[in-house]
Structure 1
């Protein structure tokens, strides 16, 4: 058996060894913990670096997009400046032309008034068709010529339009209803050559005698041709040749 002092020595050595082992194990654990913390910190740092890199890349893309848009806007602004300069030049030219037209309009107004009076007199001496319509057109034309809000060009356009309408009357057929005597009759206008009247029942036919300024009766043979002309004027029959008596103009002494 071992001596008591040796047992005490062994026990002391064992205690020292155990304490050393526990101390080393605790140190290793701390080292491992520090290593894991360092790794986690490094991973976090890497993530932050990657996030910063993504943000920097996104900011760079936005900067490039903004720079490109700025270049496009500058180019567009240059184009607009050119167009604006052209429009300003055109506006100045139009204003000058307008001023010239206004001055010319003042000189043309007496002529337009004389032309209107001549047209009115012509209508009074013409065949008596569409009296109300033509009289109202002359009245509206006179009112336009006295309207200070209308330009000279617009006044002249309306005057020419009235003349054109009167010219067109001489190129086509027309029909209207008029009361002649005690009867309501269909009146056929053949250009400006003659006016023919036919009763609705076809029993009466007349022609306007411009020299006598009155309606004269026509023979029965003219009724069918007048009826055909009325259909043509109303576009109910195709255009065709009409055989109708034409009043002879008499020279004024």
Structure 2
């Protein structure tokens, strides 16, 4: 009969031997799993590097294409410069044609702007963009004349300077007709010559490009520019009344309203 104590010792030794034999296999499995995870992480890093490299290659290709485009543009700069200046030159020529064939309003002012653009066009220090912008601005100014009513002072179209001549003879004469501001300047010691630029014969009004008239300061007489006759024609008395009202509205001295422009209509054949 086997001793119970001896049996228990044997069982314990057997269990210990089984545990000792199982531990190395478990540790090996854990190590293999860790290695697999490390290998998977390395593969992920490799894929990330490949993706980043591909993105950089795409960026480099775009940069190279952009640099090639810039080089091509730089090569064409001289031709572009000549092209822009050629366009502006043609634009100034067209504007001059418009001024010459148009109603003769604000001629000096319009030609002064055109001459200024031509001077800048001849100056190499002005950039192409600046020249083109100025040409477009000049186009806009000329286009705006077509749908605006504007009034400005000026001398008589047939007898320029007659009011100033009357003032030289007698500042108190009705033809001289000095304003209160002009009289105050003379009383303050200014000479007639000093204020001569402010002594104009009357007012000019242009109704877009439809009609262009002149009205004496005292409204005694007025004229209409005739494109057909290429000359000034006297206004009828009813047209002078309408012209007086148009002057006040255009100068901001009266509330806006409907005005009648004197237009000569050719009879149908």
Q: Which band: TM-score by shorter chain?
A: 0.5 to 0.7
What pairs with 1:5-20 in structure 2 (closer than 5 Å)?
Answer: none
Residue 225 (structure 2) aligns with:
208
Does 2:199 correspond to 1:222? no
- Tell me by how many angstroms 1:243 deviates: 2.1
SS of aligned partner of 1:203: coil
Give the TM-score taking structure 1 as reference length: 0.57
Does 2:268 correspond to 1:245? no
SS of aligned partner of 1:174: strand
Q: How many residues align?
A: 159
Q: Max radius of gyration: which structure?
A: 1
Q: Deviations over 1:136-156 (max 9, x none)?
A: 111111111111111111110
Residue 158 (structure 2) aligns with:
181
Residue 138 (structure 1) aligns with:
114
Give the TM-score taking structure 2 as reference length: 0.54
SS of aligned partner of 2:147: coil
**Higher RCO (Cα < 8 Å, 6 or more apart):** 2
Q: Report the aligned-residue RMSD.
A: 2.5
Q: Deviations over 1:209-248 (max 9, x none)?
A: 0111111111111122111111111111122111232133
Residue 98 (structure 2) aligns with:
122
What pairs with 1:1-253 in structure 2 (closer than 5 Å)?
Answer: 103-179=79-155, 180-182=157-159, 183=162, 184-248=201-265
- Tell me by how many angstroms 1:103 deviates: 4.3
- Tell me by how many angstroms 1:94 deviates: 9.8
SS of aligned partner of 1:162: helix
Residue 178 (structure 2) aligns with:
none
- Tell me by how many angstroms 1:185 deviates: 2.5
- Tell me by how many angstroms 1:105 deviates: 2.6
Q: 1:102 to 1:181 in 2, by over 3 A?
A: same
Residues 102 and 151 in structure 1, CA contact (< 8 A), matched pair in contact too: no
How far apart are the structure 2 equivalents of 1:94 and 1:167? 37
Extract unaligned runs of 5+ from structure 1. Answer: 1-91
Residues 211 and 261 in structure 2, CA contact (< 8 A), matched pair in contact too: no
Q: Deviations over 1:162-209 (max 9, x none)?
A: 111111111211112232222522111111111111111111121110
Extract unaligned runs of 5+ from structure 2. Answer: 1-66, 163-200
